[in-house]
Structure 1
Amino acid sequence: MLNSFALTFVALFVALDILGTLPLYIGMTHHLEPRVRNRVLNTSLLVALVVAIIFLFIGEAIFRAIGITVYDFKIGGGLVLLLISLADLVGQHEARERASGSSGIVPLAVPLITGPGVLTTLILQVRAAGLITTVSALLVNFLFAWVVLRHSGWIVRMIGKDGATVFSKIAALLLTAIAVAMIRSGIFEAIQAAGL
């Protein structure tokens, strides 16, 4: 049981990649007041967790019912990330303000935190380790994610305003690369699944 939990935890830890998300989170939220940044963090993590848990129970059924696959989800999620990152790179004000309102859950909650990789991993781990083990590992991973992202403020204080701006542009470039990788992966996996 413990070994099964450890394997599931590691699989979800890799899929969530919260350490990789940290620079993106800082880039999107460094201009916010600490109180607002914490609200965005809490809302984003809560939404991401709820999406993940709902998907555990009904995700596959929903996908089948509307005729889409995880590959479609990867491509669509990648396109959303690509549009947001490009808007941020060219300095559109809307992109910089995106995290300050209710839309802060996009792209933080979905698809950055709970994206196609996490959803696919959840499906596989439920089949391999069972529902209780998978949900437990997911909750521990989200607790770790909250601790890491909650303490990102001191990094912003260390690098200063100019450093945070540079960090934001680097994060937007990384986000663009992640988006392209998601789209490419979704296309290739769809082609493989079709047997072409």
Structure 2
Amino acid sequence: MNAYIEAFLPLFVAINLPGILPFFIALTEKLSAADRRRLLMRAVVTAFVVAVLILFAGQFIFQTLGITLNDLRVGGGLILLVLSITDLVFADYRRRNPSAEQDAADVGVVPLGIPLIVGPAAITTILVAQQTYGYLPTLVSLTANLLLVAVVFSIGPWLIRTLRPVAVRAIAKVASLFLAAIAVAMIRAGITGMLGGS
């Protein structure tokens, strides 16, 4: 049991559920309940598929493609930076017919599924946990964390109804600002790792 708990906690910290919840609220502010559920399902399924792929074939994929976790940090950081700047500078980003199924699918995959729920920190944690605790405890902890994400994200509509529209927009802007800061931190960590040869 200790192995399962010890595998769960670092992954919970790496996913940072309290930190990514405001982004989910901001991105789903204008969605209908049905579209929001579809987006949540796509995000969690995408995160699970990618995480399981990393768990069982991460080292092989990285070696085959010739990439490192630092490359992933820089790439994921650039994606998040573009999305956050677009939302901060061009306020219509989240209003581009968000109820359309294709838009919901895109947002569910990127940036929610990747790299917010399962980003470089989570990927690194999964690889370390697999080497430390084995496949089964890591898979169980991953599943438990993603189920927790789904449950917490599902109360997003209640939070949106509870908060006033002005408060939701304010949260969205603050979330985008912090998202930009997270993106810069990811890029900085990736570049530092590259220069350090790690």
Q: Shorter-chain TM-score: what band?
A: over 0.9
- The amino acid of 2:33's aligned partner reads P
Tell me the residue number matched to 2:23.
24
Tell me the residue number matched to 1:14.
13
Tell me the residue number matched to 1:108.
112
1:140 aligns with 2:144: yes
After superposition, the CA RMSD in angstroms is 1.4
1:174 aligns with one of 175, 178, 185: 178
Matches of 1:6 and 1:173, distance apart in 2: 33
8 A contact 2:38–2:104 mirrored in 1: no
- The amino acid of 2:113's aligned partner reads A
8 A contact 1:84–1:95 mirrored in 2: no
8 A contact 1:52–1:114 mirrored in 2: yes
Deviations 1:100-145 (A, max 9, x none): 4321111000000011111110100000000001000100111111
8 A contact 1:87–1:95 mirrored in 2: no
Identity across matched positions, percent? 37
- The amino acid of 1:6's aligned partner reads I
Matches of 2:187 and 2:150, distance apart in 1: 27
8 A contact 1:28–1:96 mirrored in 2: no
1:73-92 to structure 2, matched below 5 A, reads 73-92=72-91
Tell me the residue number matched to 1:150.
154
1:119 aligns with 2:123: yes
SS in 1 for 2:67: coil
Residues matched between the structures, number: 193
8 A contact 1:156–1:164 mirrored in 2: yes
Deviations 1:125-181 (A, max 9, x none): 000000001000100111111110111111111112222111111111011011001
Matches of 1:97 and 1:55, distance apart in 2: 33
Structure-1-length-normalised TM-score: 0.94
- The amino acid of 1:88's aligned partner reads D
Matches of 2:89 and 2:155, distance apart in 1: 28
Deviates more, 1:27-36 or 1:136-145: 27-36
SS in 2 for 1:101: helix
Structure-2-length-normalised TM-score: 0.93
Q: CA deviation at 1:12?
A: 0.6
Structure 1 gaps of 5+ residues are: none
- The amino acid of 2:81's aligned partner reads L
1:164 aligns with 2:152: no
Matches of 1:154 and 1:165, distance apart in 2: 16
Structure 2 gaps of 5+ residues are: none
Q: CA deviation at 1:97?
A: 3.8
Deviates more, 1:45-54 or 1:157-166: 157-166
8 A contact 1:44–1:108 mirrored in 2: yes
Tell me the residue number matched to 1:192.
196
1:48-87 to structure 2, matched below 5 A, reads 48-87=47-86
Deviates more, 1:157-166 or 1:174-183: 157-166
Matches of 1:151 and 1:168, distance apart in 2: 16
Q: CA deviation at 1:82?
A: 0.2
